[in-house]
Amino acid sequence: MGIGQDSHRFSKAKRPLVLGGVEVSKSGGLEGKSDADVVLHSLCNAVSSALGGDSLSTWSDEMCKSGVTDSKEYLKFIVSKASKKNYQIVNASVAVEAKKPRIDLATIKKMKDAISGILSISSDSVGITFTSGEGLTAFGKGLGIQSISQVLLCQK
Q: Which residues contact 57 (CB under 8 A, 6 or more apart)?
A: none
Give, for all 156 residues of the chain, the pLDDT tens digit. 999 999 999 999 999 999 999 999 999 999 999 999 999 999 999 999 999 999 999 989 899 899 999 999 999 999 999 999 999 999 999 999 999 999 999 999 999 999 999 999 999 999 999 999 999 999 999 999 999 999 999 998
Backbone angles phi, psi at 81, to 5 degrees: -65, -40
pLDDT at 15: 96
Report the C-alpha gap between 58 and 126 in whole angstroms: 26
Give me the amino acid identity at 41: H
Which domains does the chain possess? 2-155 (3.30.1330.50)
pLDDT at 30: 98
